[in-house]
Amino acid sequence: MTNSAQSRGNAERANKLVVERARKRFRQANGAAVTAIADLSFSVDVGEYVAIVGPTGAGKSVLLDCLLGLKRLDSGKIRIDGSPVDTFAREKKGHITRIFQEDRLLPWLSATDNAAFGLQIQGVPEQERRDRAAKWLDAVGLSGFKNALPGELSGGMRQRVNIARAFAPKPELILLDEAFSALDDVTASRLRQDFKTLAQTQETTFLIVTHSIDEAIFLANRILVFGAPAHVMAEIPVPSHAWQDRALSDQIKEQVRTLIAAGARPH
């Protein structure tokens, strides 16, 4: 290995996630090509909480699909722990998990079995996965609902199971895809607080896609403002006390809003 390659490897090891010059285009039904991701580069350090905010149609969800290996880039690279994302996803099942906007629970499984779903994919023995899932249901405040079917739970409770399912496989990277936006304000606020408390007990890296700048300020250490198609327009560091400091949080919000307005894809 050359010196430069070695130093690059060392640099990447410090990062959990590196996205380099990523590009992704789609062909629409009418034949027209649409660019979802355009020359996107950013990195996320181990244990960091990074929020991505941007206008609708900025390719944020496409990026998450690419990070999970569900979609392939046209060009560019995504590396996790220095390995290409396909290799990482294949060799380390369940080490990246996603908290979806809608709960996406399997309606025939109990809360415990839903929370254990990632562990089942990993091939964890049944008793162990049920024990681990039950522990996570306790952690998200669903101790009394372990045998309930999703249809018997409220929206907020189902989202708690969704969160437990994402944490249970002990992932190295958790992707939040508008995780609280489908809930009412009161439930979302309570769940956000619980999520943050829970996340701080884990040695996990978080990439948080959200439309809520308040949520980004509350959860993240750093905000990446995306333009459409997906590219980083600006990186804004978020001091840990920013969500408690009204003036500072207003300043960040104003800065992000201005950038988003400038980067929106014309409709």
Partner 1 sequence: MTAVANGNNSGCGAIVAEEAIDDDLSTAELEDISAEGSGRSIGRRIVRIVLPFLVIAALWETASFFTKPYLFPGLESVAKSFWTILTTWDLLSQGLVTWARLLVAVSISLLVGIPIGLAMGLNLDIDEFLRPIVKFIMGVPALNWVIIVIIWFSNTELRIGFVLVVLCTPVVIYCIYDGVRGVDRKLTDMVLSFGASPGQHVRLLMWPYVKASAFTAAKINVGNAVRTVIVAELVGAPLGIGKELDLAKNVFDMSTVLAWTLFLVLMALIMAHGIEFVERRTLRWRGESQRGH
Name residue, tokens 């979609």. Answer: 71
- Site map for partner 1, 127-156, x if CB under 8 A? ----------------------xxxxx---
- Smallest separation, CB 150 to partner 1 (Å): 6
Position among 98, 129, 130, 231 found at the interface with partner 1 (CB under 8 A): 98
Position among 118, 156, 229, 263 found at the interface with partner 1 (CB under 8 A): 118
The b/e string for 116-133 (b: 16+ C-beta within 10 A; e otherwise) is bbbbbebebeeeebbebb
When the beta carbons of 101 and 210 are compared against partner 1, the nearer one is: 101
If binding is defined by CB under 8 A, does position 120 make contact with partner 1? yes
- Site map for partner 1, 4-43, x if CB under 8 A? ----------------------------------------
When the beta carbons of 170 and 265 are compared against partner 1, the nearer one is: 170
- Smallest separation, CB 152 to partner 1 (Å): 6
Beta-strand pair 33-45/49-53: unpaired
Count CB neighbours of 88 within 10 A.
23
When the beta carbons of 121 and 262 are compared against partner 1, the nearer one is: 121
The span from the CA of 61 to the CA of 126, in Å, is 32
The span from the CA of 61 to the CA of 17, in Å, is 16
Intra-chain end-to-end CA distance of the chain, in Å: 49
Q: Where are the alpha helices (DSSP H) in the chain?
A: 3-14, 60-67, 85-91, 111-115, 117-122, 126-139, 155-167, 185-199, 213-219, 246-263
Q: What angle do CA 173, 227, 82 make, to 5 degrees?
A: 30
When the beta carbons of 38 and 149 are compared against partner 1, the nearer one is: 149
When the beta carbons of 117 and 218 are compared against partner 1, the nearer one is: 117
If binding is defined by CB under 8 A, does position 126 make contact with partner 1? no
Structure tokens at 194: 């619980």
Binding residues vs partner 1 (CB under 8 A): 65, 68-70, 89-90, 93-94, 97-98, 100, 102, 104, 106-109, 117-118, 120-122, 149-153, 169
